[in-house]
């Protein structure tokens, strides 16, 4: 969401708060009184990326109400809850920024100086009485192409790890991770669910490497895997020597750690870097191209033509070292297309066991996680053979 729509939304929310707290129109007394909250909500709903905005009030006992009580002295003990439905692909960064700005706007509202405007009904400001405002609570509901239930309390939160971290960042992380059907963050606890037990390890690995604030991944029927029990990723040891050892055995697929290691783009071209780390105690060899397929957020396969480059030399991988391969494609149109690539399914060679690699399993230092690629149904990509890490492509 760009800064202008964010500011517009914040202005709408601030006006909504003023209307809810008894402020009236600054025009003549016959101009119709206070702004209509439903009209303001409709304006916010029309902003880019926002699909719906609703609000209600909660009394000190947690009961929901459509209006505040008549006595303004009671308002400070009430809560105004705002629910915003937006597209998950809007990302966490702009959302965190919007919450920070909204916090500042709400603080200004609660400390606004007394004022009078000719032709208006007196308000608590007019007498110099501090304005009693209800507490603000904002919940975001990022919508995914799969309809997963993603909910996060965006304000107030007890802490935020960094610009794209904390519960908001975690909510968007799991919204873009295949296999997740529910992720609820209330600022204090987290509940992340997958639809199938086979997805527990994959999603727990994402939680572990991204440092998400969740301890356990569960299925809907409560099968679970503790994030702390996920095997750590093996350390990568750069190797200066790549022996051409003809006696080195073929790599056991169980001894190769497959992962996404990076990406790049230039002038309409896209590149995805894949790695295979030798976790065994001795050198082993790979020859040929990795086998790669692409899947949607709903874990459905995409029909993508994969064109291997010719020739494939035998590569002996020292223990702890990593072989690399590159997927190369031209930018593909993605507008209004929910079937993008959210997951790469990678095997070291055709016929070997495959590893499901969500884009969110790739850690991008200093940035939030990537969730999808512009590889779509009917597209075409090229792929290189395995080469020693550091070799030219």
Torsion of CA 31, 35, 40, 41, to 10 degrees: -140
Q: What is the mean pLDDT of residues 251-257?
A: 94
Confidence tier at 238 by pLDDT (50, 70, 90): confident
Confidence tier at 371 by pLDDT (50, 70, 90): very high
From 67-76, 144-153, 272-281, the region with the lowest mean pLDDT: 67-76
* C-alpha span between 296 and 206 (Å, rounded): 17
Q: What is the mean pLDDT of residues 48-74?
A: 87
Q: What is the pLDDT of residue 27?
A: 32
pLDDT of 176 > 80? The answer is yes
Q: What is the pLDDT of residue 312?
A: 83
Q: Which residue has the tokens 């003023």?
A: 18
Backbone angles phi, psi at 161, to 5 degrees: -65, -45
**Mean pLDDT, the chain, whole residue set:** 82
Confidence tier at 59 by pLDDT (50, 70, 90): very high
Q: What is the pLDDT of residue 196?
A: 96
Beta strands in 7-49 (DSSP E): none
Backbone angles phi, psi at 126, to 5 degrees: -60, -30
Q: What is the pLDDT of residue 62?
A: 94
Q: What is the pLDDT of residue 25?
A: 34
Q: What is the mean pLDDT of residues 52-63?
A: 92
What SS3 string covers 135-180?
EEEEEEEEECCCCCEEEEEEECCCCCCCCCCHHHHHHHHHHCCCCE
The closest of 218, 213, 163, 221 to 189, measured between CA atoms, is 213
Q: What percent of the chain has pLDDT over 90?
A: 51
Q: What is the pLDDT of residue 55?
A: 86
Q: What is the pLDDT of residue 113?
A: 53
From 81-95, 307-321, 365-379, the region with the lowest mean pLDDT: 81-95
Q: What is the pLDDT of residue 29?
A: 28
Residue 156's alpha-carbon distances to 64, 173, 212, in angstroms, are: 19, 20, 19
Confidence tier at 381 by pLDDT (50, 70, 90): very high
Q: What is the mean pLDDT of residues 285-300?
A: 96
Structure tokens at 290: 């990795």
Q: What is the mean pLDDT of residues 175-189?
A: 94
The closest of 181, 182, 184 to 167, measured between CA atoms, is 184
From 28-37, 281-290, 338-347, the region with the lowest mean pLDDT: 28-37
Q: What is the mean pLDDT of residues 120-134?
A: 53
What domains appear along the chain, each with residue ranges and CATH number? 3-228 (no CATH), 253-388 (2.60.40)
pLDDT of 102 > 80? The answer is no
Measure the CA angle with vertex 176, ends 212 and 218; round to 5°: 55
* DSSP sequence for 254-312: GGEEEEEEEEEEETTEEEEEEEEEE-SSS-EEEES--EEEEE-TT-PBP--EEEEPS--
From 39-53, 101-115, 167-181, 369-383, the region with the lowest mean pLDDT: 101-115
Classified as helix, coil or strand, 42 is: helix
Contact between 164 and 368 under an 8 Å Cβ cutoff? The reply is yes
Q: What is the mean pLDDT of residues 76-105?
A: 75
Residue predicted with more confidence, 199 or 26: 199
pLDDT of 161 > 60? The answer is no
Question: Is the omega angle on the peptide bond into residue 121 within 30 degrees of 0, that is, cis?
Answer: no
113 C-beta neighbours (distance < 10 Å), count: 7
The closest of 296, 273, 293, 379 to 342, measured between CA atoms, is 296
Q: What is the pLDDT of residue 209?
A: 94
Structure tokens at 250: 């073929």
Contact between 149 and 183 under an 8 Å Cβ cutoff? The reply is yes
pLDDT of 193 > 90? The answer is yes
Most confident of 126-130, 139-143, 294-298: 294-298
* DSSP sequence for 66-97: SS--S-GGGGGGSEEEEEEEEEGGG-HHHHHH
Q: Which residue has the tokens 């702004």?
A: 35
The dihedral sign for the CA sequence 81, 82, 88, 94: negative
Q: What is the pLDDT of residue 369?
A: 84
From 99-103, 120-124, 296-300, the region with the lowest mean pLDDT: 120-124
Q: What is the mean pLDDT of residues 169-193?
A: 94
Q: What is the pLDDT of residue 24?
A: 38
pLDDT of 82 > 90? The answer is no
Torsion of CA 344, 348, 353, 355, to 10 degrees: -30
pLDDT of 30 > 60? The answer is no
Confidence tier at 248 by pLDDT (50, 70, 90): very high
Classified as helix, coil or strand, 205 is: helix
Measure the CA angle with vertex 180, ends 177 and 183; round to 5°: 105
Interhelix angle 3-20/37-45, rounded to 10 degrees, is 170
Q: What is the pLDDT of residue 73?
A: 81
């Amino acid at each position: 969401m760009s800064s202008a729509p964010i500011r517009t939304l914040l202005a709408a929310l601030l006006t909504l708060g003023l209307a809810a707290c008894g402020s009236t129109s600054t025009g003549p007394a016959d101009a119709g009184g206070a702004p209509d909250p439903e009209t303001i909500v409709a304006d916010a709903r029309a902003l880019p990326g926002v699909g719906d905005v609703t609000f209600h009030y909660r009394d000190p006992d947690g009961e929901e109400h459509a209006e505040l009580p008549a006595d303004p002295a009671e308002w400070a003990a009430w809560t105004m809850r705002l629910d915003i439905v937006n597209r998950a692909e809007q990302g966490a960064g702009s959302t965190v920024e919007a919450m920070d700005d909204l916090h500042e706007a709400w603080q200004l509202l609660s400390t606004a100086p007394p004022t009078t405007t000719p032709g208006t009904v007196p308000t608590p400001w007019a007498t110099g009485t501090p304005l009693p405002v209800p507490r603000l609570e904002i919940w975001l509901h990022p919508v995914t192409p799969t309809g997963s239930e993603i909910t996060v309390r965006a304000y107030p939160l007890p802490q935020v790890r960094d610009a794209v971290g904390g519960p908001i960042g975690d909510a968007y992380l799991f919204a873009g991770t295949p296999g997740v059907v529910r992720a609820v963050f209330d600022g204090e606890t987290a509940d992340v669910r997958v639809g199938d037990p086979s997805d527990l390890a994959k999603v727990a690995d994402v939680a572990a490497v991204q440092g998400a604030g969740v301890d356990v991944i569960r299925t809907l029927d409560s099968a679970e895997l503790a994030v702390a029990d996920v095997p750590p990723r093996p350390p990568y040891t750069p190797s200066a020597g790549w022996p051409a050892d003809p006696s080195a055995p073929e790599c056991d697929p169980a001894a190769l750690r497959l992962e996404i290691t990076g990406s790049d783009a230039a002038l309409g071209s896209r590149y995805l870097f894949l790695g295979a780390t030798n976790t065994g105690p001795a050198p082993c060899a790979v020859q040929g191209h990795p086998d790669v397929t692409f899947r949607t957020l709903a874990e459905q396969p995409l029909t993508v033509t994969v064109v291997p480059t010719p020739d494939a030399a035998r590569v002996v991988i020292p223990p702890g070292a990593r072989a690399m391969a590159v997927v190369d494609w031209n930018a593909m149109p993605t507008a209004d297309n929910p079937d993008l690539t959210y997951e790469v399914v990678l095997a070291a060679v055709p016929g070997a066991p495959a590893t499901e690699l969500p884009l969110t399993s790739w850690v991008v230092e200093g940035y939030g996680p990537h969730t999808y690629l512009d590889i779509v149904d009917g597209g075409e990509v090229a792929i290189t053979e395995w080469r020693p890490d550091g070799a030219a492509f």
